[in-house]
Structure 1
Amino acid sequence: MKLKQLESLLGSLQQFSNPKIELEQYPTGPHIASRMLYTAENSFEDVNSKVVADFGCGCGTLGLAAGLLGAESIIGLDIDAESLEIAYENADELELDMDYIQCDINSLNWRGQIVETVVMNPPFGTRRKGADMNFLSLAMKVASQAVYSLHKTTTREHVKRAALRDYNARSAEVICELRYDVPQLYIFHKKKEVDIAVDLWRFVPQRTQERSL
């Protein structure tokens, strides 16, 4: 599938109907989502025929992008039931099978199938400090092959240091810098739209053989 086709399909998906600020719910736009998964597959072969988990999946955009690129199976995890209902509808619209689990990522005790690749757009930690790093820590424990994650560019050095020192990453690489379009969703937003510089990271665990927690 070509990049433009992938972006077009993702652009048709429903997004949050009632976003919750305490969960830092912002839609992952088709521009970023398509490039994130397209790069994961075409540059590193981390999607096709792989088991992919989407942590904090929201409306399912990243996981469904993996499905469109040939993932063997897709698992979406999110704490918010309303978001998961939208994700179900999006999967039906694209005629994709995706398993969804309602859970708190921070208390996840994974006993499921082997997950090779984790993709995620975690909370940036603006409402709850360290939320983004909690997501990354757990993803590094679950993924057997690679973790793809978005983080504010301003946190680059902190993210790299924590990944290599604390989360047992064999490598932590910024694949590219992207512009995250944050729409005017909440009452405290004064501008119609704000662009935030974000890094697309690829993290590789120390051990890349199959494993489960």
Structure 2
Amino acid sequence: MSHEIIEPPIRRAAGKPKGKLTKSDLLKVESITLTRKSLSDIATMSDLHGLTSLSLNDNEISDLKPLVGLTRLEVLMLQGNQISNIKPLVGLTQLKQLNLSRNRVSTLTSLSGMERLEKLNLINNQISNLRPLAKLKSLESLMLNFNQVIDLKPLFGLKNLETLMLTGNLGLDDDQVEELEEVLPRCEIEHC
């Protein structure tokens, strides 16, 4: 069933309503949006090597392996799925915007090489350790509401950070937030 949902927007983007889709056709596809389609299997997307933007919000996706070769991606929206393993994203180093909110992510190690990342949304996951984010010097916006964050020190070097959302991290106290505000005076921090 996933194939029937995924193929029509691929054909539209490739400009080929009928006939066999060739590798050349698939390379023409730069952007796909499939929101609220009950998708769980995205294997059909593994050959879309020209994609720069992919939105799969509010589906039932848990396996990200089909995205491994999509190294041109700059925008990846995966909010509201069933994702716990983000290791397949490790090679997507061109990403500038990544939304993994409302998933089951607990470890961020796979994101540590995404040095171009500017916007990262991790709201409502199971994240406690922010150390992998310390190298993401391009980050401007980081949303961490409703996680299990207990230590903000890994964020001290993120001098480009303008917006940081921390509401709902019960392990954080006001002293930690105030210390971060001193280190990053340009950053607007939301914490309750």
| Alignment TM-score, normalising by the size of structure 2 | 0.29
Structure ranking higher in helix proportion? 1
Larger radius of gyration: 2
Higher percent of residues as strand:
1
Structure with larger RCO (C-alpha < 8 A, sep 6+)? 1
Tell me the TM-score normalised to structure 1 length.
0.27
